Amino acid sequence: MSSNFKKKLEKRKGLFKKKNSEDSSRSKRNKVNISISKKKRESRLMKRRNIQSTEEIPEIQDFNNIIKGTKSKNMDQIVECVQQIRILLSQNSEPPIDLVLKSGVIPTFVEMLSQKENSFLTFETAWIFSNICSGTHAQTKSVVDHGVIPIFIELLDSKDLPIVEQSIWGLGNISGDCDEYRLLILDNKIVIPKLISVFNRYPITLEIIKLAVWTLSGLFKNSPPLAPKLCQLVFPIFSTYLQDPKEELLVDSCWGMSYICHDPVNIEQLISGDCIPRLIQLLEKDDDEIIISSIRILSSVMGGTNKQTEHVLQAGILKPLKKLMQSTHIRIVKEACFALSNITAGTEDQIQLIIDEELIPEIIDLLSNKNPKISREACWIMCNAINGGNTEQIEIFIKAKIIEKLCVFLLSDEILVVKIVLEAYHKMLNVGVEISIQREEEENIVAEKMDELDISSLIEKISRSKKDKISKIAQTIQNHFFYFDDDDDDQDYYQDYDQDYDQDYDQDYDQESISD
């Protein structure tokens, strides 16, 4: 090998910049997860309390007379008519919510909900309102606009447990309608303490526990995140019911815990409370919601420090994840891949555990998955592993045909995806330099393969893109590995890149086009 060529190889090797610091790849990857996890869990948002088996459904043609009866001066008649409306709204199919709203009876029901003389009447009207709020946004709005939220919150202090139960139900349905109403409920600073106090009452039924856990879980989802003090208040509730064998309690406890575990304080509490083994155990459940919500929590933990990631790894998460990657459920595979991407964003030793578990071939196969959500997550796993791995590890990836598999992601419309793939190619090219030096060969095996596959042409095209954040990286790759130019400005590029990378991350995540 000529001395001139060797000097150039050494120069390029010296330019290598390791990207996978504890504060970069994993923490930034976790920001993407927070964005993704804002989507609604449609199947568990709204609940209608159905008719009791012994009750007879009134004839709808009697509706007008029933409405008139609610305004009678005879209390027994009022109670009977209110109960009949509640029964109509508790039907499994097509409850006449709009008919009730158009009747103009809502203000009357609000007065009944507020009165304290007849607890049965309060209970029935609370049931009516919670069932209306299991309907559309417009139907829920008609109730909220009449001031039902503060009344429900006040009723949480009732000594009548059925009224407490129905008030929790109503608040859960309202908060599940939209973020605006969720935050409107939380504007009342006492609502969380009042809900938590329900767990300390005696006697308390399993149904109330289920509703309270479900409602608390719903109040903590989406953005903006709630104050750390509130998260600390509900942490023991979710932590307790993570241990419960009842699946409905498990699902909502897991989702609730996943919402509050974006806070590092709660992650540490989760670890010290020995919840990690239980969460890994839950990955073996047959319930998809339990599996997905458990992975979300574990991913949040592994989105923290390397030490936190190590705690989850030592608890034995890799074998369950390997099994879940073979699931036919798209969401489960995607979440499993996300968890793995947080692991490969860690240390070389943590990346090695993925290799030792023989997960790399399966992950590389997922790069070609027809579902873009899965292939994209697999791309993150491998790019994190490449950018944080050592030479020996990257050689394993190259032998597994990672060079060939990654190139399709250079055509992605997501700037951030293109960026991490370019960084991965840059790292592999530098490893190619190391291999050339070690073997005293003039050819860079990575550059050769990229030329053979015409990946260099794709990179050259990206280098001419108007998107500076990716064109700079592509230009550097092009200049240093596909033609020689001794007057390059590598060091200036990396100084600029260091300053810009962090602040531009969130802007880049918007799915903007990379076409010229």
pLDDT for res 465: 86
| Cα four-point dihedral sign 321, 325, 327, 328 | positive
Length of the chain: 516
pLDDT for res 35: 39
How far is Cα of residue 220 from the mean position of the Cα atoms in its chain?
Answer: 13
Residue linked to tokens 């370019």: 422
pLDDT for res 216: 94
Question: What angle in degrees, to the nearest 10, is found between the helix axes of 25-36 and 490-508?
Answer: 20
pLDDT tops 50 at residue 18? no
Distance CA 263, CA 255 (A): 14
Phi/psi at 73 (nearest 5 deg)? -90, -5
What is the end-to-end Cα distance of the chain in Å, rounded?
40
pLDDT for res 492: 47
The average pLDDT across 14-29 equals: 48
pLDDT for res 19: 42
CATH domain 39-218 topology: Leucine-rich Repeat Variant (1.25.10)
pLDDT digits (tens, 9 = 90+) for 291-310: 999 999 999 999 999 999 99
pLDDT for res 25: 59
Q: Which residues are CB-neighbours of 501 under 8 A, at least 6 positions away?
A: 24
Are the CB atoms for 214 and 252 separated by under 8 Å? yes
Q: What is the pTM of this model?
A: 0.82
pLDDT for res 52: 64
The average pLDDT across 99-119 equals: 93
The average pLDDT across 55-61 equals: 79
Q: Is 230 helix (H, G, I), strand (E, B) or coil?
A: helix
Q: Count how many Cα atoms sit within 13 Å of the Cα of residue 475 in the half-sphere of its side chain.
A: 17
The average pLDDT across 452-460 equals: 94
Distance CA 416, CA 435 (A): 29
pLDDT tops 80 at residue 321? yes
Greater pLDDT, 338 or 261: 338
pLDDT for res 222: 73
Are the CB atoms for 251 and 211 separated by under 8 Å? no
Confidence of residue 29 (pLDDT cuts 50, 70, 90): low
Q: Where are the domains of the chain?
A: 1-20+413-516, 39-218
pLDDT tops 60 at residue 409? yes
The average pLDDT across 115-141 equals: 94
Are the CB atoms for 199 and 237 separated by under 8 Å? yes
Residue linked to tokens 């196969």: 365
Q: Where does residue 487 rank: exposed (0-12), middle (13-18), buried (19+ CB within 10 A)? A: exposed
Mean pLDDT of the chain: 85
Q: Residue 216's closest CA among 203, 200, 231, 201?
A: 231
Distance CA 36, CA 27 (A): 15
pLDDT tops 50 at residue 319? yes
pLDDT tops 60 at residue 252? yes
pLDDT tops 70 at residue 432? yes
The average pLDDT across 437-465 equals: 91
Q: What is the CA radius of gyration of the chain?
A: 29
The average pLDDT across 215-226 equals: 81
